[in-house]
Structure 1
């Protein structure tokens, strides 16, 4: 009986003392670094912004800083609609959004190998032609005429299209068509997307998603005198 009494007394003592000891421990100090503050971004977009694991959240690492900054502004200002992003950036200043964009633009982790495509050879060929040549009969410029011959983008405002999942590409082209994704007028991507048929979107997305990203994937800078050579006037692309 004495043993049981002592055991109960000891347990009661521990129950009373442990919470006090926990409160007495110094709080863990979280480093106030930009990388630490961007944990909310990498929670979805992956470490260093290399892409989420579910095939929906895109790679943002290495994208041109000007492009990333404008997308953050678009989420904050309602031109792009995704509740989690809109909530995160709702009260962030322009300066902080630029800091976020600059951080991820300077990250260059390796790309994952593209997944094999289930699309037929004819569908992939249709996608290749639209990406590299466009369709003159519909006055549709090639993707490569704006996004660069290697499809890795043109800094500071035009993103690369390689290394992105097929489902993400389909979703974004669909968003341009429906108007749930917008850009500053004139909205050139909306103009292009409005001419795409469902089979065009499937073909382009399938072909792009299966392309290997070149070793030198850093977007070259679009020079001031080259803006006039772009096939469309884009409000989001300004010298």
Structure 2
């Protein structure tokens, strides 16, 4: 069976290291070696932004979304003490370069279902939602195949299941408050724990944003 991207479901896109992004020496150091009290992005998120377990995959996320998350860690709308230290002294230009760097990475997924979730239930939630609980389909906001809609809605496809589930739980617990109109908070609270594990596992099973698809990633307010 083929997905809307033209890839067979479960297949991997070709490896592309990155699109052409000009990184300053300071930003390159921050990504790969760290800078002062700021440890390297790669030390947690991987050399190619692939992430691991409860650390998110950054590869292929829209640049504007990455910048927004950096700002939200700085302001406290997202709570993470490690990230607060990392982003504390970033300039707007450094944020832009980081966002564009990770947006340009196209690497195979190392995510997989790991929470024992019901994949059929997860697929149903992603594709159709559960209107008996006022839960819309994930893909109605996050785009076909979960590839994201910049800048507000990140790619969900190939994100690590533990990370996705932890963020849903953070919205439930009030530890994350950076969703417009509390949309994700309301959705997360409407889902059961089993549903959160199911949809997280299903999304982890999907192929990531494919190489060469940059121009096809939707942006809010743009029409073809």
TM-score normalised per structure 1: 0.72
Structure 2 partner of 1:128: 123
Instruction: Pick 1 or 2: higher relative contact order, CA cutoff 8 A, min separation 6.
Output: 2
Q: Equivalent residue for 2:134?
A: 139
| 74, 79, 82: which one aligns with 1:81 | 79
**CA deviation digits over 1:13-71, x for unaligned, max 9?**
xxxxxxxxxxxxxxxxxx9353223221111100121213xx12111011001110000
Larger Cα Rg: Structure 1 or Structure 2?
Answer: 1
Superposition RMSD on alpha carbons, in Å? Answer: 2.3
Corresponding residue for residue 161 of structure 1: 156
**Do residues 48 (structure 1) and 45 (structure 2) align?**
no
Distance 2:130 2:155 in 1: 20
Matches of 1:104 and 1:225, distance apart in 2: 22
Question: 170-179 or 160-169, which moves further after superposition?
Answer: 160-169
1:146–1:109 CA distance, 2 compared to 1 (3 A): same
More helix, by proportion: 1
Q: Unaligned regions of 5+ residues in structure 1, if any?
A: 1-30, 227-239
Q: What is the match of residue 10 of structure 2?
A: none
Aligned twin of 1:231 = none
TM-score, normalised on structure 2? 0.76
Q: Write the distance in 1 (CA, Å) between the matches of 2:168 and 2:47.
A: 26
Secondary structure at the counterpart of residue 170 of structure 2: helix
Residue 93 (1) aligns with residue 88 (2): no
Structure 1 residue 197 corresponds to structure 2 residue 192: yes
- The alignment partner of 1:155 has SS state of coil
CA apart distance, 1:116: 5.6
Cα offset, 1:195, TM superposition? 0.8
Mapped partners of 2:208, 2:107: distance in 1: 12
1:150 matches 2:145: yes
Where 1:150 maps in the other structure, the secondary structure is helix
- 1:119 alignment partner, one of 110, 116, 120: 116
